[in-house]
Structure 1
């Protein structure tokens, strides 16, 4: 069953009326850290209310503890189905008033239980220029295919695999003979810069959906310091 790790934060409203965010992650948590740092600096446009993680040993759980952010850690094998544990997660998100779900290296495919409940309010980051190279090992896919440019995509989550409307992209040229490790390092740095920008845009009401198109309007904090964001 799920284990909620509470770090003595209390139950009071810590958001000051700002957007409440939940981050889902399974691994190292570099994007989680970038988001947590932005929130601590008042640059996220909201607060990170909760980390949801499917691995108790994942380093991201320790990052949450150090940042003073509650973590909801669950063992998927304790549930009869994905829908069962997602139902518990959804109840916790609703109890906390979470308005945006941010997937940051969460390695489980979501069911309609969460996807439908947070339609238009759930975003993901992917290490390629979608629709190229969806799914696992996108960096390796790009290198093996021989493309000269790859990058990072932030998109809304829908029922498909990395198929939701695209919010922002950043392109990176691949160096001649560049290794997977080198490219991964540069892509992760781009992700860490771009993801807080997108969350802030959502919090400020500047990101909306028009069918398949995600529309991003200009405004305060609209990425003026990040000219490489495709907005």
Structure 2
């Protein structure tokens, strides 16, 4: 069974829905560890209450390079069996840019969720960008992480309508509800071996490995 490591910085609401789905046996994966760069992250206590091991690799005040910090994260992942051959890493509100070395080591084994229909509105404040731009629809995207900013192969997307009265806050809430549906689903598809990557495109197969 694949070992899952989840990286958080705050409450980790997407972490929570993934862990709940695992607990209900909806996803055939082992929730091995939750790691936070913030010792005060509320998500740590949530994970602990759900019986998942947690670790803190504090980033505040760290003076080394991005890769030097990521090596500390990788050491923890490896400790819990989240390896480049038998692991999956999910970013769930992890407020750090991970290094290219980390991405290369865990190639096609790092997932992220972004609150927009990529490739539209990558980067920060995507919901505000959507409102300011006046789009009629927005949503969220689960994708593999590559060296670009929200440019990795797309796995799943969900759409929400944007009304004339929406603000960044109201749109964020609507999108978050969709995130909570498609992120666990993407983890399930990965765990079942049903995602195939061909260049920039992914396909979902009916059967796994």
TM-score bracket for this pair, using the shorter chain length: over 0.9
Q: CA deviation at 1:26?
A: 1.0
Aligned match of 1:81: 65
Distance 2:13 2:122 in 1: 20
Partners of 2:207 and 2:183 in 1: CA distance? 17
TM-score (norm 1): 0.84
For structure 2, the residue ranges without an aligned partner over 5 or more in a row are none
For residues 28-177 of structure 1, the aligned pairs below 5 Å read: 28-76=11-59, 77-98=61-82, 99-177=87-165
Is residue 2:201 matched to residue 1:213? yes
In 2, are the aligned partners of 1:45 and 1:199 still within 8 Å (CA)?
no
Shift of 1:79: 4.4
Worse overlay, 177-186 or 125-134: 177-186
Q: Please tell me whether the aligned partners of residues 7 and 90 of structure 2 are also in contact (alpha carbons under 8 angstroms).
A: yes
Given candidates 168, 175, 180, the residue that maps to 1:180 is 168
- Compute the displacement of 1:67 (Å): 1.1
Shift of 1:219: 4.7
- How many Å separate the matches in 2 of 1:111 and 1:60? 23
Deviations 1:50-75 (A, max 9, x none): 11111111111111111111112122
TM-score, structure 2 as length reference: 0.93
How many residue pairs get matched?
203
Contact preservation (8 Å) 2:6, 2:90: yes
Q: Deviations over 1:117-138 (max 9, x none)?
A: 1111111100000000001111
Instruction: Report the Cα distance in structure 2 between the residues aligned to 1:47 and 1:217, rounded to whole angstroms.
Output: 22
Gaps of 5+ in 1: 1-17, 221-231
Greater Cα offset, 58-67 or 156-165: 58-67
1:81 to partner: Cα distance: 2.0
Q: Which of 182, 186, 189 in structure 1 is aligned with 2:177? A: 189
Q: SS where residue 133 of structure 1 aligns?
A: coil
Asked whether the equivalents of residues 104 and 124 of structure 1 are also in contact (C-alpha less than 8 Å), the reply is yes
Q: Secondary structure at the match of 1:56?
A: coil
Report how far residue 32 of structure 1 moved: 0.5
